[in-house]
Amino acid sequence: MRNMLLLLLALTLLPICAQGEELPVLDYSAVKDRFVSNPRSVKDIGDPFILSEETGYSMFATGGSIGFNVWRSGDLRAFDKSKALKKVNWASGDYWAPEVYKVGEQYVMLFTARLRENGSLRTGVALASAPEGPYEDPLGKPLMDFGYATIDATLTWDDAGNPYLIYVRDCSENTVDGRQESHIYGVRLSDDLLSVQGIPVLLLKPEGDWETRSGDPRWNEGPAVVKHGGKYYLFYSVNGYWMKEYSVSVAVADAPLGPYTKQANNPLLVYAEDETGVTVSGPGHNACFTMGDELFTSYHTHTYPQAPSGNRQLCVDQAGFHADGTAFINGPTLAPQLRPLQEIGCRNMLPLAVCEGDDQGLLTDGDSCVSPASEAYIWRGSSVSYRWNEPASADLLMIYPAPGQALSGKVTFNGALTDTFSLPADGKPGQAVILPFSPLTVSEMRIEFTQGAAGEILLIGETP
């Protein structure tokens, strides 16, 4: 009761707009610290994986022939690098695609490396007592050997807690109809994660126009599994990693070993370009993590988008699921995006409101419609109003336009306090209207659009 009284007192002390007042708009610098932009500062890497914990983030990535580094960060803006895993005895090099999971009191790393005796790629495992390592090889050999090259291993668990390894049968040793192809497989793991049980099951292979742009070889690789609503969402990458068309798609199943159905609006994450050429190239090999109630995905893009190569850089964007179960990724972005709300001590007030219009949930579903794959979820109305039964404290409005569209209109708070907004069509990928203002107690908000369509609206305030 005391906390509730303090909250009500705090709300009453915030200014409430009166007829004729102007919205107390602030400069972007007032909220700049809440935002972060892609690419992040880690470059010359590939296949980034982020482990999120209360103590911060640990980022792991492909490290070439010298084992693996770890980049530790409190905000995914500044990083401290150290060595996580030195070379293992059975491998000659090509340490790729590390992933780390906390299982009980230990940290389990899965990784790819080449066998010393013949250069074939295999999946290894290493253990540590802390996320930053040092990691040690408990087996002295690969985790499994099916007689063919394997890469890009990831983990998931079923509802009973049984672990499954999802991995890639690499195209270097997999020929189909005279063509090299990478396929995604799954197999049950032992409870201690140190051996496989049963026979691997084929889950995905490259199909359709977008997934076969590379010709020969072809790829389904870089798997990452997220459980949501009783379903297993298997994100994966297609085409060659050096191509601008390297991109992320998703398939859905009721069980870890499938069968999987590829989502109809694939791919979810693709390259971006404007009149100057390609601005984001090869967004792929993603991995998902949570911060608070929000889902995010890491991925890499080419450091030099108009000259793609193995030099890649870390990017992070938000992901999520629509009410109909469709997965989305809000990317790729280059414009400023909100940092995780829990990290900055804020919340989105709009889902707490009652919509007095027909937004069909499209403006509060978390999908900013940055990706062309979200075309069906763009809201195309001309005005929308919201009402809070319990007034909300807010100080920042964000409005995402449909991709490539200019956006303009006006917002009115509490029936009186009004300001206009506009956004050109030629901004950076992921651009949004960013309207900071002095803290207000908001009971009503109406937005009228004079140009463009909206993908998402956020009304942000500090968490009480």
The tokens 């063919």 sit on which residue? 148
Give the span between the Cα atoms of 399 and 444, in whole angstroms: 17
**pLDDT value, residue 4:** 37
Instruction: Evaluate whether residue 55 is within a structural domain.
Output: yes
For the chain, the residue count is: 464
Give the span between the Cα atoms of 111 and 55, in whole angstroms: 24
80 and 131 assigned to the same domain: yes
**pLDDT value, residue 178:** 96
Assess contact for 242 and 259: CB atoms under 8 A.
no
How many distinct structural domains can be found in the chain? 2
241 and 158 assigned to the same domain: yes
Instruction: Evaluate whether residue 231 is within a structural domain.
Output: yes
123 and 265 assigned to the same domain: yes
380 and 443 assigned to the same domain: yes
Q: Which of 446, 456, 435 is nearest to 26 (CA)?
A: 435
65 and 160 assigned to the same domain: yes
For the stretch 150-200, pLDDT in tens is 999 999 999 999 999 999 999 999 999 999 999 999 999 999 999 999 999
> Is residue 453 helix, strand or coil?
coil
Range of the domain at 450: 2-33+345-462
* 76 Cβ contact list (under 8 Å, min separation 6): 36, 40, 50, 57, 59, 316, 339
Query: Residue 367: which CATH number?
Result: 2.60.120
Burial of 9 (0-12, 13-18, 19+ CB in 10 A): exposed
CA dist list (Å): 367 to 198, 371, 399: 39, 9, 12
Strands (E), 303-424: 312-321, 327-329, 337-338, 346-348, 354-355, 383-401, 407-413, 417-423
Beta-bridged to residue 25, according to DSSP, are 437
Residue ranges, the chain, pLDDT below 70 = 1-20
Assess contact for 349 and 440: CB atoms under 8 A.
no
CA dist list (Å): 339 to 4, 43, 58, 317: 28, 20, 16, 9
Residue that terminates a domain, selected from 310, 332, 354: 332
The tokens 């794959």 sit on which residue? 373
285 and 434 assigned to the same domain: no
Instruction: Evaluate whether residue 315 is within a structural domain.
Output: yes
Instruction: Evaluate whether residue 120 is within a structural domain.
Output: yes
**pLDDT value, residue 360:** 86
Q: What b/e string do you get for 344-362 counting C-beta neighbours within 10 Å, with b at 16 or more?
A: bebbbbbeebebeeebeeb
**pLDDT value, residue 12:** 31
For the stretch 76-117, pLDDT in tens is 999 999 999 999 999 999 999 999 999 999 999 999 999 999
Give the span between the Cα atoms of 379 and 363, in whole angstroms: 7
11 and 152 assigned to the same domain: no
369 and 318 assigned to the same domain: no
326 and 421 assigned to the same domain: no
**pLDDT value, residue 8:** 33
Instruction: Evaluate whether residue 374 is within a structural domain.
Output: yes
Instruction: Evaluate whether residue 337 is within a structural domain.
Output: no
Instruction: Evaluate whether residue 193 is within a structural domain.
Output: yes
138 and 258 assigned to the same domain: yes
234 and 312 assigned to the same domain: yes
Give the span between the Cα atoms of 441 and 261, in whole angstroms: 46
Residue that terminates a domain, selected from 332, 356, 381: 332
**pLDDT value, residue 10:** 34
**pLDDT value, residue 154:** 98
Residue that terminates a domain, selected from 307, 332, 357: 332
Query: Residue 108: which CATH number?
Result: 2.115.10.20
Instruction: Evaluate whether residue 162 is within a structural domain.
Output: yes
* 68 Cβ contact list (under 8 Å, min separation 6): 60, 61, 83, 84, 85, 95, 98, 109, 111, 135
Give the span between the Cα atoms of 321 and 206, in whole angstroms: 24
426 and 388 assigned to the same domain: yes
